[in-house]
Amino acid sequence: MRCFTTWRKSWFMMTLQQLKAHVLDHSAQVIVFQKDGLMVDSCHTLSGVKSWENKSLYDSISLLRSMQFAFSHIGNEEVIDIPCVDFVLEQRQGYYDFTFSLHPENPDLVVWLVKDQTRVYRYYAAIQQERNLLRLEKEYKERGQSA
Amino acid sequence: MDSTKQGISKKIALLGSHAVGKTSLISRFVTREFPNEYLTTIGLRVDQKTVQLGDLTVELIIWDIAGQDDPVRIPQYYLNGAHGYIFVVDLSRESTWSQMDHQIQVLEAMMPKAKRLVAGNKKDLLSDKELQELKLPVTPDFLTSAFTGENVDEMFHHLAQILVHDDATTA
């Protein structure tokens, strides 16, 4: 009980902004890169991404390489949504939602928001797997009956 | 995005209903392996492989998109910028090809510039007689088997050739 009270107190000492930042730190990362792919900055909250520093992300990440055209033509208000990507963020294999938009203060830079949704999508994948297997089973059974 | 240090780079997408073998075809092509068990793909996974066409090196960046009976539900940003796509059906399951003409029509509207191939996969599950009797609404360009590897490399190479040829004619 005492521990619980201490824990609660430590949370209550945070402002809501701090609390939000704390939660987001464990689920999201922002990476900024030039339109030619050169990584400029990262908040490193999910992964250190050290191997990408001062390099073109296009050389390391085929998904981004295949989107170069989109980045060079991205509109001021446009947000490119690429949800549910099975991806390895450095050593972290998982499911991520990606969004790309122009930097609000510098349109030469692209802001890549990486949201780790692994827990949610793994749950969804298990359900989808079960559903698909049931559909397959049903189809094969129907085919067997009609043959 | 066409030019890379090595040569030419092309984005292609694999599309079709669930469990038609899209991921297995990619796995066979990229790693020469056939997955032992069926695992549903959700969302998107990207692989890449380089193919040699004469003197030309072509990198294929392959977007493996979760099976979807209704292509309209595929996020448009998954498809944007695709140079080509392979629409895959499972020859042994009519439900995966009975609506294929309509599905292809929808995909053409979503990717008007992309080149298309149609793959009739799981050829190994049908006898020659059954294959001859099949009446698909759209004739597949390739009859493939991710399990045996039959026609898999040929199909990806053919698409690469089409894309390179398209570049040459539009240049």
CATH number of the domain within which A66 lies: 3.30.450.20
pLDDT class for B5, splitting at 50, 70, 90? very low
The complex's ipTM?
0.90
Question: Does residue A9 form part of some domain?
Answer: no
State the DSSP string of A25-73.
Answer: HTTEEEEEEETTSBEEEE--SS---GGGTTSBHHHH-HHHHTTHHHHHT
Give the pLDDT band of residue B40 (cuts 50, 70, 90).
Answer: very high
Residues A95 and A74 in one domain: yes
Over residues B68-87, the mean pLDDT reads: 96
Structural domain for A73, as ranges: 26-116
Domain-embedded: residue A92: yes
**C-alpha separations of B89 from A27, B85, B116 in Å:** 37, 13, 14
Going residue by residue through chain A (147 aa), what tens digit of pLDDT does each one get?
A: 455 555 555 666 788 888 888 888 889 999 999 999 999 999 988 988 888 888 999 999 999 999 999 999 999 999 999 999 999 998 889 999 999 999 999 999 999 999 999 999 999 999 999 999 999 999 888 877 665
Structure tokens at B95: 């439900």
| Whether A85 and B11 lie within 8 Å, measured CB to CB | no
> Is position A13 within any domain?
no
Q: How far is A43 from chain B (nearest CA, A)?
A: 24
In three-state secondary structure terms, A105 is coil
A138/B contact by beta carbon, under 8 A: no
Q: What is the pLDDT of residue B170?
A: 74
Sorted by where each starts, the structural domains of chain B and their CATH numbers stand as: 8-170 (3.40.50.300)
How many structural domains are present in chain A?
Answer: 2
- Mutation pick from B42, B68, B83, B89 vs chain A, by most beta carbons of A within 10 Å, is B42
Are A33 and A61 within one domain? yes
Give the CA distances from residue A81 to residues A78, A97, A101, in Å, rounded to whole numbers and listed in that order: 9, 8, 9
C-alpha to C-alpha distance for B100 and B79, rounded to whole angstroms: 18
